[in-house]
Structure 1
């Protein structure tokens, strides 16, 4: 497509697209596993830690300030395990392409209300926000976001500690211990997001949150359960973002379009992931059904041609998604999840080169 619009900076490009209008070109984003990230840097002759140079080459329009945890150690080390600040246990599982940190032990699986109350939770004041303003100034031409798919994300993140099976049972049975953990986590995340927003002093452009609500074949839970347990808690985070006049992006993997009408009512502006191969998530269906009320981010399947096809098949897939999703604006191109290590480097390169070549209005 020929570019006939004035060139925009990344911030203008994303905000125009997320307002469901046509920017100069489709915004581009990048999520990755470590192995593919390193292979891309080697391909372009970059240093292993040169994240910014890679993002510029790929045409990435988004940046996120880094806010490190600087508080006390909350959990003891566990031999053979990686333990994070939430107390989640992971173990390294090798595969043909490298490996993955997977979740094990589930230390809160049988926890009582008292044990949930005693479980350490990071203090929002123990995160260093002192560099947020400087990072925002450095990236002022880019779309600046805070949050990520783990903000809210009650089913997944609680499943890391209680197991997925137990959390789904907890939702059905109104388990007080699980619901208490939801609220404890939510209070921490609300406090942290507010501190980051205040430190940014009006420079943040979008707010990111998440909740995986679908399997490959249909909803993860019923709409009744969503409205009973998750929607009211999601609404608190959305209300915080709206108090700072920020558009909200909701990440939701799997077949999640069944919840989009609720998302719209709640004030969500953009939906992320958009796995095209799963039930009721075909790009044409989403664009026709929700394109006048929601913007979209994602759609390039990490289980599709970029992982399993040829370079030409990857190019064809990206061009097809652009042709469907671009008209009228309201679309940012991104992998549906982190690019996985089984994706050939040349396919990922082709994905981003095609987006930059053919994403112009």
Structure 2
């Protein structure tokens, strides 16, 4: 089987030839461990004589846009390139088009309505950290001038993924995504307290915001599929490590109909719909299935979710993607034998019957690629069907 066949076979509920693997790499340092390091980091560029000149003359907007555009395309493309070289069957590519404004030299704005700190990881690569919401009322929402243009975003997504599929689509199954989860985006733009308040006081306002995100998502998803992407993996964190951020009934009431439409649109095109959602989603998996998702990632091992119970309860209806630990196992601190044992444990208990894709739980700058190589080698050695461990 090739990678695409392996992914579609396991998600259909059948056993492929071996356990499929998915890469989630959107931090540049682990990517550079695979494809090679650039001569200059983002921090080098900012702190250089020319960088400081441009910063003083034009402000952060000019140089920030240069870095942001480069980083957005790099993280969405180079992660796939690295995944191909490592031998993964699939790779999640997230195109973050909504980060295009710089109110000051310390701030990058999410055009959906939040301010974020510009930071550099310990290796000099630019990233961001959420600071505060900017849409705190229906009036703020009506007056917000920066919402992404969905038609323009769809054209950008089509162009980007057409090239990505052309370059790598024969060697790996691309899981496409344009940043903008229906719940998480509202959480960062409004804050959880305001969402809770307006769900009760002005529910039509919340519904209108969700519909805007739904329309944007469907438009960009269709563009990705027009470009040749077969699998959509929407990123949308809905839970803490201890459980859902809001009552599941309210999540279903306000966000469920839109996610159902997204899944239906993907399925009508013959594609697969996957949801990435961190935290403990034990109380939400039934909703994910109800909405029409074919699979879910990440089954975060440091949360309260029990992946082995979920295999028993939902394994026939929802493909499990994950849940190799990134807090310890895939870092320099772990031992090679620990990576092998954790990989074997997941294969033994989750892989039988299909509907399992082994993957790291998440991405961060301190991922040790040598440990991911050990994981891949362990899958190739122990993950042949029928599973016999």
Say whether the fold is shared (TM-score over 0.5).
Answer: yes
- Per the alignment, residue 185 of structure 1 pairs with 213
- Per the alignment, residue 29 of structure 1 pairs with 22
Cα distance in 2 for residues equivalent to 1:115 and 1:226: 21
Matched, 1:230 2:252: no
Q: Does structure 2 retain, via aligned residues, the 8 Å contact 1:74–1:120? A: no
Matched, 1:292 2:316: yes
Cα distance in 1 for residues equivalent to 2:197 and 2:15: 44
Question: Quick one: structure 1 residues 81 and 143, their matched pair in 2 at CA, closer, same or farther if it must change by over 3 Å?
Answer: same
Three-state SS of the structure 2 residue aligned to 1:245 is: coil
- Per the alignment, residue 205 of structure 1 pairs with 230
Three-state SS of the structure 2 residue aligned to 1:265 is: helix
- Per the alignment, residue 3 of structure 1 pairs with none
Cα distance in 1 for residues equivalent to 2:184 and 2:120: 22
Q: Does structure 2 retain, via aligned residues, the 8 Å contact 1:156–1:164? A: no
Cα distance in 1 for residues equivalent to 2:174 and 2:28: 22
CA shift for structure 1 position 63:
5.2
Q: Report matched runs for 1:311-330 at 5 Å.
A: 311-330=336-355
- Per the alignment, residue 143 of structure 1 pairs with 173
Cα distance in 1 for residues equivalent to 2:172 and 2:233: 16
Question: Quick one: structure 1 residues 179 and 27, their matched pair in 2 at CA, closer, same or farther if it must change by over 3 Å?
Answer: same
Matched, 1:111 2:104: no
Cα distance in 1 for residues equivalent to 2:244 and 2:94: 33
Task: Give CA-to-partner distance per residue, 1:25-71, whole Å, 9 cap, x none.
Answer: 1111111322222234449xxxx9965653233212225789796x9
Q: Does structure 1 retain, via aligned residues, the 8 Å contact 2:79–2:93? A: no
- Per the alignment, residue 253 of structure 1 pairs with 278
Cα distance in 1 for residues equivalent to 2:18 and 2:279: 27
Task: Give CA-to-partner distance per residue, 1:204-238, whole Å, 9 cap, x none.
Answer: 32222243232212222212211221112211211
Q: Does structure 2 retain, via aligned residues, the 8 Å contact 1:215–1:255? A: yes
- Per the alignment, residue 102 of structure 1 pairs with 129
Task: Give CA-to-partner distance per residue, 1:118-158, whole Å, 9 cap, x none.
Answer: 4332223213324644543441453243326x45x233212
Cα distance in 2 for residues equivalent to 1:313 and 1:219: 30
Cα distance in 1 for residues equivalent to 2:149 and 2:101: 14
Three-state SS of the structure 2 residue aligned to 1:92 is: strand
CA shift for structure 1 position 94:
5.7
Question: Quick one: structure 1 residues 117 and 27, their matched pair in 2 at CA, closer, same or farther if it must change by over 3 Å?
Answer: farther
Cα distance in 2 for residues equivalent to 1:219 and 1:169: 17
Q: Report matched runs for 1:116-135 at 5 Å.
A: 116=142, 118-126=144-152, 127-128=155-156, 129-130=158-159, 132-133=161-162, 135=164
How many residues were matched structurally? 340
Larger relative contact order (C-alpha < 8 A, sep ≥ 6)? 1
Backbone CA RMSD of aligned residues:
3.2
Cα distance in 2 for residues equivalent to 1:232 and 1:135: 31
Gaps in structure 1 of 5+ consecutive residues: 1-7
Q: Does structure 1 retain, via aligned residues, the 8 Å contact 2:80–2:92? A: no
Cα distance in 2 for residues equivalent to 1:95 and 1:143: 29
TM-score (norm 2): 0.76
Q: Report matched runs for 1:47-196 at 5 Å.
A: 54-62=82-90, 75=101, 77-93=103-119, 100-108=127-135, 110-113=136-139, 115-116=141-142, 118-126=144-152, 127-128=155-156, 129-130=158-159, 132-133=161-162, 135-138=164-167, 139-147=169-177, 150-151=179-180, 153-171=181-199, 173-174=201-202, 176-196=204-224
